[in-house]
């Protein structure tokens, strides 16, 4: 097994599989020997114990089951050979620990060095760029744009003189070059390789000057000689990711691992390596919409609740400078059942449209369909409307949708949802110049939420004249916006219903 030769992003379309040379083989073998030294010869042959591993969450069971008890996914449990997996190995490797110096809590610490990509929305989610010596996982549905964004980031960094290595196990070098040309990035000095064996990849990376950033696309295609399981299984994906994470720590390079979220569970999902890496980002959005959201779910070096918003264009993913304007772009202002929610995503206020449709149900058990919000939260809002506000709504079919494919996690959306529901139920549109935010309590009260001032300023910036929310603190309200403060949900419901009756009478 010899190291690969990197291919420049610019070059002839030719396969590189025959690039390994004999003389390089000897040089590169030393690090591999070191790397494999914990696995004695014959160890792999010694025992082949199998166990049943969930490909979605990595949970172990003693027998095959149709459903994983740990994560609830169906059909994800696969028999795997586990004897040489993570943590396995000869006892002798555990001996011979050496003492390390203990340090005081107080002391000066350098801030982590980062590679800033220059793609603002990506840097925002990572907390200012990829941290050198860290491993980052970028997960998402296949085809959502992970490879495109990373190729753009690689090209931007390479142009500024960084050493960037892009290893693809999914595509041949020629395909990556074609993609780079489509994105008009074909002439950037990115180093490419098409390889899936972890030992070969590591030998290649250790051969030559250390890279600043290594992109591995994707972890599911990787396999290592150290374990016997098939590529794509939990054991393979974990062991491979562990080896690359260790390489990041040792070499000081930032390593980005791409992980496909797979629905059927036949391939191990990115979740099984989440705990191994320093940061986890997920790409959201669906192919029917042009925009994509990059969400941080774990970050040892920064905040986790930031999102980056991108728009898919012919030249790759474009940053969206003003996401609120994008999400409200196609709003039907005069439709009943539509309310604008003034939300927060991390440190950034973001406005979006909540749409509700309430229609009489022919079914004994009415339908509830929710897209972009928590369905148990909807049940709670409905129960409060029914019990505390005396609104007869429960027997209807109810559809709730957050426009544009955005996912909202904030309880602050309660009030916008309640307003949209009542608007649809009464058939009267809400004032289109208002935004709504506030958490609803089980007792029927409207609770104030954090960052009210920021939400109001964002609404004002986008031309909204009023806001409906809970009681605000002094100094929360910027000048020039009319704020309706409601302590009780019933009060607001009364107002919306009365407005509907006035409109009907006119």
Residues forming contacts to Zn ion in the complex (CB under 5 A) are 54, 56-57, 59, 68, 70-71
Which residue in 401, 404, 142 sits closest to 289, CA to CA?
Answer: 404
Closest distance of CB 65 from Zn ion, Å: 10
Consecutive H or E run containing 449: none
Tell me whether residue 59 or residue 164 sits nearer to Zn ion (CB atom): 59
Closest distance of CB 68 from Zn ion, Å: 3
| DSSP one-letter code for 135 | E
Closest distance of CB 70 from Zn ion, Å: 4
Say how far apart CA 499 and CA 423 lie, in whole Å: 10
Closest distance of CB 268 from Zn ion, Å: 11
Closest distance of CB 271 from Zn ion, Å: 9
C-alpha triplet 100, 105, 109: angle, nearest 5°: 85
User: For 372, how many CA atoms within 13 A lie in the half-sphere containing its CB?
Assistant: 22
| DSSP one-letter code for 67 | B
Q: Do 154 and 213 contact (CB within 8 A), yes or no? A: yes
Sheet holding 291-299, edge to edge: 7-8, 191-194, 164-168, 213-217, 254-260, 135-140, 279-284, 291-299, 307-313, 316-319
Which residue in 324, 351, 321, 319 sits closest to 122, CA to CA?
Answer: 319
Tell me whether residue 32 or residue 68 sits nearer to Zn ion (CB atom): 68
Closest distance of CB 272 from Zn ion, Å: 9
Tell me whether residue 271 or residue 451 sits nearer to Zn ion (CB atom): 271
Tell me whether residue 188 or residue 271 sits nearer to Zn ion (CB atom): 271
Closest distance of CB 14 from Zn ion, Å: 43
Treating both helix axes as pointing N-terminal to C-terminal, what angle do 414-426 and 375-388 enclose, rounded to 10 degrees?
60
Say how far apart CA 347 and CA 128 lie, in whole Å: 14
Closest distance of CB 226 from Zn ion, Å: 24
| Residue 444 in tokens | 């029927």
Tell me whether residue 53 or residue 422 sits nearer to Zn ion (CB atom): 53
Which residue in 234, 235, 195, 199 sits closest to 217, CA to CA?
Answer: 195
Alpha-carbon distances of 406 from 246, 293, 309, 469, 491, rounded to whole Å: 35, 8, 10, 22, 29
Closest distance of CB 71 from Zn ion, Å: 3
């Amino acid at each position: 097994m010899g190291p690969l030769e990197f291919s420049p992003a610019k070059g002839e379309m030719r396969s590189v599989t025959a690039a390994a040379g004999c003389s390089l083989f000897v040089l590169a073998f030393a690090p591999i020997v070191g790397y494999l030294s914990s696995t004695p010869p014959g160890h792999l042959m010694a025992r082949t114990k199998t166990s049943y591993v969930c490909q979605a969450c990595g949970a172990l069971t003693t027998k095959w089951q149709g459903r994983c008890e740990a994560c609830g996914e169906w059909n994800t449990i696969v028999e795997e050979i586990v004897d040489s997996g993570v943590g396995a190995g000869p006892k002798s490797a555990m001996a011979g620990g050496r003492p390390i110096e203990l340090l005081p809590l107080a002391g000066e610490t350098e801030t982590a060095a980062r590679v800033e990509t220059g793609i603002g929305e990506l840097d925002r989610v990572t907390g200012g760029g990829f941290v050198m010596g860290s491993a980052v996982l970028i997960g998402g549905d296949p085809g959502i744009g992970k490879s495109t964004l990373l190729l753009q980031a690689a090209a931007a960094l390479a142009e500024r003189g960084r050493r960037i290595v892009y290893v693809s196990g999914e595509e041949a070098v020629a395909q990556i070059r074609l993609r780079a040309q489509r994105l008009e990035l074909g002439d950037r000095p990115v180093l490419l390789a098409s390889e899936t064996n972890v030992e070969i990849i590591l030998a290649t990376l250790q051969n030559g000057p250390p890279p600043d950033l290594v992109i591995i696309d994707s972890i599911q295609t990787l396999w290592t000689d150290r374990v016997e399981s098939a590529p794509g299984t939990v054991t393979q994906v974990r062991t491979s990711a562990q080896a690359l994470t260790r390489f990041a720590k040792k070499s000081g390079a930032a390593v980005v691992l791409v992980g496909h979220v797979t629905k059927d569970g036949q391939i191990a999902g990115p979740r099984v390596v989440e705990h191994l890496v320093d940061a986890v980002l997920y790409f959201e959005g669906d192919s029917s919409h042009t925009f994509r959201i990059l969400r941080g779910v774990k970050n040892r070096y920064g905040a986790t609740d930031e999102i980056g918003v991108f728009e898919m264009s012919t030249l790759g993913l474009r940053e969206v400078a003003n996401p609120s304007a994008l999400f409200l772009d196609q709003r039907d202002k005069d439709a009943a059942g539509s309310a604008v929610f003034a939300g927060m995503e991390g440190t950034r206020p973001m406005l979006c449209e909540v749409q509700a449709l309430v229609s009489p149900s022919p079914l004994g058990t009415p339908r509830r369909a929710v897209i972009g919000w928590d369905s148990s939260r909807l049940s709670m809002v409905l129960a409060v409307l029914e019990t505390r506000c005396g609104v007869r709504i429960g027997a209807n079919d109810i559809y709730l949708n957050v426009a544009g494919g955005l996912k909202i996690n904030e309880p602050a959306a309660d009030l916008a949802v309640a307003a949209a529901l009542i608007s649809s139920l009464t058939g009267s549109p809400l004032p289109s110049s208002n935004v709504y935010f506030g958490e609803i309590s089980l007792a029927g009260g409207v609770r104030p939420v954090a960052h009210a001032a920021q939400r109001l300023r964002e609404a004002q910036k986008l031309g909204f004249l009023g806001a409906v929310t809970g009681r605000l603190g002094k100094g929360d309200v910027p000048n020039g916006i009319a704020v309706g403060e409601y302590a009780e949900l019933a009060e607001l419901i009364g107002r919306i219903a009365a407005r509907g009756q006035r409109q009907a009478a006119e």
